[in-house]
Amino acid sequence: MTHELKTGGDRGYLRIATEEAFATRELIDVYLRMVADGTADKGMVSLWGFYAQSPSERATQIIDRLLDLDEQRIAHMDETGIDKAILALTSPGVQPLLDVDEAKGIATRANDYLADAVQKYPDRFIGMTAVVPQDPEWSAAEIRRGANELGFKGVQINSHTQGHYLDEPQFDPIFRALSDTGQPLYVHPATLPDDMMGGMVDAGLDGAIFGFAVETSYHLLRLVTSGLFDRYPDLQVMAGHGCEALPYWLYRTNYMHQAGVRSNRYESIKPLKHDLFYYMKNNFLGTCSGLPFEPAIKLMIEVMGEDRVMYAMDYPYEYVAEEVRMMDDLAISHAQKKKFFQSNAERWFKL
């Protein structure tokens, strides 16, 4: 231990954690039902078949912490110096549900439950809206309700929805609502759909260890190469875990995208208004959720810009006090550190 972790800004900044998860008992029970009745895909069986049923300490702790939006969570924030938590319904949300009406009911109740918690702890909790991409028009209305009635500051979608990706035309109402409300979209990982899974479960690599990043970075690149940001130039898309490694790969993805455009190799790859570096610096925001690793954070700042990189803990899936101290000790300027922990979140979430 190198220094005590306190809330209140004793180090010259508040700590705002930007990718923190919660769940409702109703949602966990639906996951269990889907695992039991065979309607869950391989990723859900692997992920929630473990977390919702395993007697292991990790699984039982995570379920307990996911379900708490009260004193225990506040205590854990206090113990690790987290001033504010930006909360979203845990992945995969309601997106795997086959009954769309059931999904809409669960999402509505989860959003109302979160709004009540935010109202109880207005100085500590900030909400993001959960939606049902299976019904894009309903989701657009719920985005507007979240922004205008519930006081939420963003929207989270857990990557693909039953193998469908947000660059597909049917999801445009969601982006119109984001544009109308001026809210950011957080694209959180989900497990790979069955047609991408391959041997990852057998290898033990399907979840947060690797599969999440593979699937979500693929999704994010689709948003860029489909021309979404040319249609919605002010759209801000957030991604965790080092922006799912896109900054590291950016030179190569940009080079090969341009080569693909010149060669007319793919029907889906068309010229964009800008190169991929531009979109990374103007439309993407990255957080360090689950990746409190100085070299990665410095790379994000260098590639994306110091105004586009934010702190996140990834509670309750990652809850390690020493990682907060590591971030306090980042070898970056104090001004950059304040942006990383506080100012950038305040700016992009309009706090």
Residues annotated as catalytic are 314
Order of strands, sheet of 125-130, starting from the edge strand that comes earlier in the sequence: 16-22, 84-89, 125-130, 154-157, 185-187, 237-239, 284-287, 309-310
Hey, how many other C-beta atoms are within 10 angstroms of the C-beta on 254? 17
Q: Round to whole Å and give the CA distance between 215 and 198.
A: 12
Name the token pair of 315. 């509670």
8 Å CB contact between 166 and 133: yes
Task: Report how far residue 176's alpha carbon sits from residue 178's, in angstroms, rounded to the nearest whole number.
Answer: 5
The two structure tokens encoding residue 337: 């550190």
Distance CA 73, CA 69 (A): 6
The one-letter amino acid code at 342 reads Q
Provide CB contacts within 8 A for 273, sequence distance 6+: 230
DSSP secondary structure letter of residue 193: P
CB 323 within 8 A of CB 30: no
DSSP 340: I
